[in-house]
Amino acid sequence: MRLSLHSDYALRLMMHLAINTEKLVTITEVAERYSISRNHLMKVANVLGRSGLVETVRGRSGGMRLGRPADQIKVGDVIRETENEIMTLDCTTDESSCLISPSCRLASVLDKATAAFMAVLDECSVDDLVSDNAGLQALIQIEMLEL
């Protein structure tokens, strides 16, 4: 299983916002911190903003913050917003493309695997990723001081 770069950036953004709750965080700050594309991060922030996971404030003093407390945002919520298809086969979308699809059991096995994967992600909140994680907090807070 491989998650997209979109999901990777979304999770980094969520962790960054969870650590920096005392101020609005800009896309530029996060993009520079992680050395990632500002344009790509803007797309990620837009998706998370439309879903309510991130609150965006426009204007000169604008920025982003979490849309609700970090302990109420499950990692699975973020992945569901950023991944179109977590694990699929071509045959599940077009059964005519495969000779064995009428009798194949692989799709149901992959559906169960995906459900188990998402169940694990739903057990973990964004807060679980950042709380009591002094190493991560120091890395992100150092950057905030450098800007």
**pTM (predicted TM-score):** 0.85
- Looking at the predicted structure, is the pLDDT value of residue 52 above 70? yes
Contact 72, 35 (CB under 8 A): no
Report if residue 22 sits inside a domain. Answer: yes
- Supply the DSSP string of 43-91, one letter for each residue: HHHHHHHHHTSEEEE-STT-EEEESS-GGG-BHHHHHHHH-S-SS--HH
Q: How many structural domains comprise the chain?
A: 1
- Structural domain boundaries, residue 58: 5-84+126-146
- pLDDT score at 92: 61
Report if residue 119 sits inside a domain. Answer: no
- pLDDT score at 118: 94
Report if residue 105 sits inside a domain. Answer: no
Average pLDDT, the chain: 88
Report if residue 93 sits inside a domain. Answer: no
Report if residue 28 sits inside a domain. Answer: yes
What is the CATH classification number for the domain harbouring 39? Answer: 1.10.10.10
